Amino acid sequence: MYLFKKISGLRQFLESYRSKNRAIGFVPTMGALHKGHLSLIEQSLASTQCTVGSIFVNPTQFNEAADLEKYPRAPAQDLAMLYKAGCHAVFMPSPEEVYPQGLDTSVALDFGALSKPMEGKFRPGHFDGVAQVVKRLLDIVEPDKLFMGQKDYQQYLIVRHMAQALSLPTEVVVCPIVREKNGLAMSSRNERLSPEQREQAAALYQTLQQVEKWMGKHPPREVEQKALQALQQPGLEPEYFQLVDGQALQPVSDYESPTSIVACAAIWVGGVRLIDNMILK
Ligand code: PAF
């Protein structure tokens, strides 16, 4: 496995694959890797000839300085995990390499309704930062396939929209959520939870499972209310719970007309914000 901190070295390495028409897969991460990230690496290894992972804690997608500061970092462990997984190359740039002075890296795209609800509402500016860094990384790596986790469902739709709108030559592949034994969705932020909080946080997945059973029996708004009530437990603070159309992210008003329905939620456990979702239809 090769480690690159500079764009020039990475591009030179990738050229040897590109010139032989070998497909390049890309897994962008912010480090503090877990089995969820490794499942993306595995998917990439299975369907491309060269897998590049990146580790970059992107400052522009944090709407709170304290959240950026507290974001877990474990570079040595991350590199060992990527090496063991069989990753071909890792890009670990500095902020100056990603955002050099004088280079306009902003993405002039209106994500419209996709960026307004849920994460967009509670983390203003977050998706502009995500789009900015993903576009910049795609410009650098130029992968054939980009692998994203379903856990960040709204992020996946935003990135897919960007790839379509800008006619990027990259296929965006979404990969299933990987969960802990108790159902808690794997997340780098879980590292900040105590063992007790990890158990409490499992209520989010249990509620999503419960919602699957309520669906059809109660109207969508009522199901959302019931889910929020179910999450009113000691140590938990639900932020939102919404049943949305899986393509447009608009609230669904019935279960028949939308072709896909996703339940999306965010909760606070102590000072840690967690998100999760379930594709219901
Ligand atoms: O999902 C993440 O870890 C980040 O939002 C991403 C896609 C790596 C961009 O910084």
Q: Is 152 in the pocket of ligand 1 (CB under 6 A)?
A: yes
Where would I find the H helices in 142-174?
153-165
Q: What is the pLDDT of residue 216?
A: 86
Q: Answer yes or no: is 123 within a domain.
A: yes
Same domain (yes/no): 18, 95 = yes
Burial of residue 20 (CB within 10 Å: 0-12, 13-18, 19+) is exposed
Q: What is the pLDDT of residue 251?
A: 98
Candidates 252, 256, 274; CA nearest to 265 is 274
Same domain (yes/no): 26, 156 = yes
Candidates 176, 163, 172; CA nearest to 145 is 172
What's the CATH number where 258 sits?
Answer: 3.30.1300.10
At 47, phi and psi to the nearest 5?
Answer: -125, 5
Q: What is the pLDDT of residue 226?
A: 98
Distance 223 CA to ligand 1 centre (A): 30
Q: Is 43 in the pocket of ligand 1 (CB under 6 A)?
A: no
- Residue whose tokens read 């995990």: 81
Q: Is 188 in the pocket of ligand 1 (CB under 6 A)?
A: no
Candidates 27, 170, 168; CA nearest to 85 is 27
Same domain (yes/no): 156, 227 = no
Q: Answer yes or no: is 215 within a domain.
A: yes
Q: Is 27 in the pocket of ligand 1 (CB under 6 A)?
A: no
Number of domain units in the chain = 2
Indicate the residue among 175, 202, 235 that finishes a domain: 175
Q: Which domain holds residue 73?
A: 2-175
Q: Answer yes or no: is 119 within a domain.
A: yes
The residue whose CA has the least distance to atom 1 of ligand 1 is 29
Count of H-run helices and E-run strands, the chain: 11, 9
pLDDT in tens, 25-42: 999 999 999 999 999 999
Distance 219 CA to ligand 1 centre (A): 34
Atom of ligand 1 nearest to the CA of 149: 1
Indicate the residue among 146, 175, 204 that finishes a domain: 175
Residues (pLDDT < 50) of the chain are: none
Residue % of the chain over a pLDDT of 90: 99
User: What does pTM read for this prediction?
Assistant: 0.97
Whether residue 37 lies in the annotated active site: yes
